[in-house]
Amino acid sequence: MLYAIVATDVANSLEARMAARPAHLERLQQLKAEGRIVLAGPNPAIDSNDPGAAGFSGSLIVAEFESLNAAQAWADADPYVAAGVYASVSVKPFKQVLP
């Protein structure tokens, strides 16, 4: 089943986010290689694809997991969590309707 992982960054997270980014992306690439990821990306803190120093306000990942518990465990192990980038992370079942 698909699950939406919605994370909200702490204030001024850009430096910690950039430091943990390679490990974060490595985990996403693994999901991609397994054919389990639908989409993933950050939320720019301003209305721009390249927010520069404004940074990001959070992230969204939609991917396939065995269960809600498995999705939560995966989210809890994210390098951004360990680095203190995220203030909160919500994991919910997701039903894709479109496309």
Q: What is the tens place of the pLDDT at every residue in 11-52?
A: 999 999 999 999 999 999 999 999 999 999 999 999 999 999
Domain assignment present for residue 31? The answer is yes
Q: What is the pLDDT of residue 98?
A: 95
Is residue 98 a part of any domain in this protein? no
pTM of whole model > 0.75? yes
User: Is 57 domain-assigned?
Assistant: yes
Q: What is the pLDDT of residue 81?
A: 98
Q: Give Dmax over CA atoms of the chain in angstroms.
A: 37
In a domain, 99, yes or no: no
Report how many domains make up the chain.
1
What CATH number does the domain containing 14 carry? Answer: 3.30.70.1060
What is the domain range of residue 87? Answer: 2-93
With DSSP H G I counted as helix, E B as strand and the rest as coil, what are the percentages for the chain, rounded to 5? 35, 35, 30
